[in-house]
Amino acid sequence: MRDRLLWFRRLALLSAMVLLMPGCNSGFGAFQEGVGNTPNRPPLAALRVLGQPGLQFSAQISDADATWGVRAAVPLSIVIVNNVTPVRMVATKQSGGNGLLSLQLTSGFVVVATSATSDPYGTVSLQNNPTHPGFAPPPPDANPDVRLFVRGPLTERFAGLFEDSVKGFEISDRAPTLFLFDNPDGAVDATVTQIQTLGPFDLELLLNGIVVATAHGGPTVTIRQP
């Protein structure tokens, strides 16, 4: 019976995903579907790392429950799925040049905060709770640390579903995007569908820093935690 209920829930969420794709009205990020009489939740905050293409950076991302460390290159979108505010990010350039490192915090299509630096090895930060300025000590590292990395093709717009055993989230963004799943319940899986079909998808699913599954292809690709 439980498997049947999960199947029906997934079917409903995938149907909502299909409705989302043509107009993309919900914007970027992740959106939790309501269950029964529970309304849909508003879009979760998404972080965008922009500036000099290829610029290497390190970052600490956190919400109220967990912290994630990231080392990557510009550009990159980062979305905490199932997050609890405040969402915060501190990023540091890994070069001594004057290349620009810029952060944006978005909700749907709306940019709600920006911050930037061009200083050598400069640091930049932002958070989405203006009623609590400043940064408290970060919470413990995420455990388990579950990540979905939609690597490419570059700038490909996609929509999909990222879920654990009890919760499902519509996701919508452009590659490359890193999704961080806060407090997943059981194993996770994801299905993503291309909107522009610029080339085959490359997906990675990571657990505690280890790649546990990969997927390649399109226009629709599914990846599952073993």
| CA distances to 48, 86, 110, 167, 225 from 33, in Å | 23, 21, 20, 8, 21
Strands 210-217, 201-207: parallel, antiparallel or unpaired by DSSP? antiparallel
Give the ranges where 118-225 is alpha helix by DSSP (H): none
Q: Using DSSP, state whether 41 is helix, strand or coil.
A: coil
pLDDT at position 31: 52
| CA distances to 33, 34, 64, 136 from 39, in Å | 7, 5, 23, 31
pLDDT at position 167: 87
CA dist., res. 144 & res. 68, Å (int): 11
CA dist., res. 94 & res. 62, Å (int): 20
Does 174 or 128 have the greater pLDDT score? 174
Contact 115, 126 (CB under 8 A): yes
Residue 209 has pLDDT above 70, yes or no: yes
CA dist., res. 143 & res. 94, Å (int): 27
Contacts of 210 (CB under 8 A, 6+ apart): none
Question: Rounded mean pLDDT of 192-216?
Answer: 95
Return the structure tokens found at 180.
């961080």
For residue 80, give the nearest of 101, 66, 92, 90 by alpha carbon. Answer: 66
What global pTM score does this model have?
A: 0.83
pLDDT at position 152: 86
Q: Using DSSP, state whether 12 is helix, strand or coil.
A: helix
Question: Would you call 53 exposed, middle or buried from its count of C-beta atoms within 10 A (0-12, 13-18, 19+)?
Answer: exposed
Q: How confident is the model at residue 127 (pLDDT cuts 50, 70, 90)?
A: confident
